[in-house]
Amino acid sequence: MPLKVGVDVGGTFTDFFVVDEETRRTIRYKRPSTPAQPHEAILDGLGELLALHDLPFSEVGSLFHGTTVGTNALIQRRIGNVALVTSEGFRDLIEIGRQTRPKVYDIHKDFPAPIVPRDCRFEVPARVRADGKVVTALDEDRLRELVPVLLSKKIDCVVVAFLHSFAYPQHERRAVEVLRSALPENVHVIASASVYPEFREYERFTTAVLNGGLLTVMDRYIGNLIMGVKQLGTTARPLISQSSGGLMSADMAKEFPIRASLSGPAAGVSAVVHWAREMGYSDVITLDIGGTSSDVSLIRNYEPNELSLQDIGGFPVRMPAVDVTAVGAGGGTIAWLDKDGLLKVGPQSAGAKPGPACYGLDGTDATTTDANVLLGRLSNEALLGGRMPIKPELADEAIARLATQLGLKTLDTALGILKLAGGTMVKALRKVSIERGYDPSEFVLFAFGGAGPLFAIDVAREIGIYTVVVPINPGLMCAEGLHFCALSNDFVRTYLGELTEVAGLTIDGLRDELSAEAGAWFSSEDVPVEQRDCEWRADLRYHGQNFELSLPLGPEKFNGDAVQRLRLGFHAAHERAYGFSMPDGVVELVSVKLKARQKLEFVGPKELPESQRGVPTRSRSVIFDQIEPVDTPIYDRADLAKGQRIQGPAIIDQQDTTTLVYPGDEAFVDRWGNIVINLRREVA
């Protein structure tokens, strides 16, 4: 079974990237998504691409899957009914939250309504202090009294979340046992400490509640996917991409669906890290533009930033994740007029259906794709290698309606739409670079996603980046990135104490517990001993701070030398992050973390064979940054030879995207087929 299949489901398209392990042949495929039933696009697309290449389903040995089903379900509130059982006095914690506002200067903007309504939040006597002393024993009779109420409310999942359970989970575990024995099997019962046992009650409670809400959604979705794959005739077990960039089993995804909330974008970052190492670009900013959003991430010294706290649908999620900033600007983003009469772009998207007006699928709103078609940047005939016909007259009609309302010409309006969308993307790039102390001019921009290469030059020039890389399969980068991910799991223990030599024995004890948990997980996933890899980190802060920095932690015993190295490393990291440090300040150790993953060897990419340089196959008038059209040669990417240089203006077409090379810029094809665009530098 040599075929390894990577599938990424987006809001507009579902992407496939297949690798034949024996021949190193790759197969690429792209089809419209089916938002109502996302698994249908996977199963239909898999059947289509295998039939197209005359391959049997039995040849599929591995299936990797990145999905936004969970994220979309949370945003749209299409989740299961959740109840919360918590300590007395803390029923309203998930609604009170933190003393901050979503937007400081918007007095009307409020937090979203809590996932669990107040009449589904219940208190029971149970209290453990921060030092582990039991103040109030768990009242099991009170738990049993809740059962009829829970049944009457048709609850799908009960989340048990008690104070200090991240360190002392006994009460939570017992409460789960009591409720599970009394409730029907179809009602899930989970403990907050089982989802991610880290301190800060509000974030832990919310993360557990969101996970509970997704259990029924993901159970149904993954169940349908597994059943469909079996019916197609393959025994491959789907592995699901995690927000942290690794893979997890389908069973684990069913149990912890919140871990897959940002799985697609994380896989794209994994692909960029792989290619950046091959190409020698250590510092990279990624720009992944799909049909609905633009996802931006920063990679420093070949390592992507990782967060332990993220925001999904307005709710905090305490879970390791690749640091990806998403904004509502993509190929299907809708242009509209606000009440003030000004043109706005996004965050609403036309999605896969009805899609942009030019698709001819009954969409009437003007989108960025319609603007690109009208300006000649995109083909006015067909996309996806001819499988998706384009109707430019519908794009013209949609944008003309906006132009009439604005009192502008149609082409001016189209160019304005793209500039506004690009401005939103630039804000995202500033957030991950300039606002964190990085100079964008020292980075290379990797542009991918179906629309990434269309916007890359405008965005790069605006923020001061002068090298843009368009990888071989930009529109399928997230699906390709799944092949560079390995099984992984994250484990954590909170410590909350001063970083001293005296604390060493306690910290080593926590590490022993984490190692045992990781070993059990490796065994459950049948990972060979020689392929087991563990990466340790420590979260530290100065006494009195409310946020911490994460530093690498060596595997050696926590003796005096290790403590001193860690303390000095923290002072240096704090200096880099905030511009100052306090060498005489008290350093606190907050958490010890372990990332366990399967160690795999990835085969390097194949170089392009020697061939004749590609020549333009046609040309069309294109509007770049001025209204004056430019007659622009069009190349087919498959015709380009390694080492070939193309002077802009030029358009490079391929099945999954279109790359723009502006006048004055130069594109170079490297030995693997990646396109490196060097932007002209303005002379002062």
- Return the pLDDT at 284: 97
Backbone torsion region of residue 561, taken as left when φ is above 0, otherwise alpha when ψ lies between -120 and 50, otherwise beta: alpha
For residue range 238-292, list pLDDT tens digits in order.
Answer: 999 999 989 999 999 999 999 988 777 889 999 999 999 999 999 999 999 988 7
Q: Other C-beta atoms within 10 Å of 520: how many?
A: 10
Sign of the alpha-carbon dihedral angle for 316, 317, 318, 322 = negative
- Return the pLDDT at 1: 52
- Element spanning 512, H or E: helix 504-524
Question: Nearest to residue 333, comparing CAs of 285, 367, 286, 308?
Answer: 367
* pLDDT beyond 60 at 523: yes
For residue range 437-474, list pLDDT tens digits in order.
Answer: 899 999 999 999 889 999 999 999 999 999 999 999 89
CA distance 197 to 259: 14
Backbone torsion region of residue 526, taken as left when φ is above 0, otherwise alpha when ψ lies between -120 and 50, otherwise beta: left
For 539-582, what is the HEC assignment? EEEECCCCCCEEEEECCCCCCHHHHHHHHHHHHHHHHHHHCCCC
Q: Which residue has the higher pLDDT, 118 or 576?
A: 118
- Return the pLDDT at 500: 85
Q: What is the average per-residue pLDDT within 93-107?
A: 82
- Element spanning 27, H or E: strand 26-32
What is the residue extent of each domain of the chain?
Answer: 74-218, 265-329+421-484, 333-418, 488-598, 618-678
Of 205-214, 345-354, 659-668, which gets the smallest average pLDDT?
A: 345-354
- Return the pLDDT at 177: 96
Percent share of the chain, pLDDT over 90: 61
- Return the pLDDT at 361: 87
Q: Other C-beta atoms within 10 Å of 566: how many?
A: 19
For residue range 102-116, list pLDDT tens digits in order.
Answer: 777 877 777 888 899
- Return the pLDDT at 350: 84
For residue range 126-185, list pLDDT tens digits in order.
Answer: 999 998 999 999 999 999 999 999 999 999 999 999 999 999 999 999 999 999 999 999
Fold of the domain spanning 74-218? Rossmann fold (3.40.50)
pTM, 2 dp: 0.87
* pLDDT beyond 90 at 90: yes
Quickly state the pLDDT bin for 16 (edges 50, 70, 90): very high
17 three-state secondary structure: strand
- Return the pLDDT at 348: 85
Quickly state the pLDDT bin for 89 (edges 50, 70, 90): very high
Task: Judge residue 138's burial from the number of C-beta atoms within 10 Å of its C-beta, 0-12 exposed, 13-18 middle, 19 or more buried.
Answer: buried
Q: What is the CATH number of domain 265-329+421-484?
A: 3.30.420.40
Q: Is the distance from CB of 285 to CB of 430 less than 8 angstroms?
A: no
Q: To the nearest whole number, what is the mean pLDDT of the chain? A: 90
Quickly state the pLDDT bin for 492 (edges 50, 70, 90): very high
- Return the pLDDT at 330: 87
Quickly state the pLDDT bin for 384 (edges 50, 70, 90): low
Q: Is the distance from CB of 258 to CB of 248 less than 8 angstroms?
A: no
Quickly state the pLDDT bin for 385 (edges 50, 70, 90): low
Q: In CATH, which of 1.10.3470, 2.60.40, 3.30.1490, 1.10.1220 is domain 488-598?
A: 3.30.1490
Q: What is the average per-residue pLDDT within 562-571?
A: 90
Cα–Cα distances in Å, from 344 out to 367, 389, 419, 530, 664?
11, 27, 11, 55, 30
Cα–Cα distances in Å, from 243 out to 56, 240, 387?
32, 10, 32
69 three-state secondary structure: helix
CA distance 666 to 656: 22
Quickly state the pLDDT bin for 684 (edges 50, 70, 90): very low
CA distance 199 to 165: 9
For residue range 183-212, list pLDDT tens digits in order.
Answer: 999 999 999 999 999 999 999 999 999 999
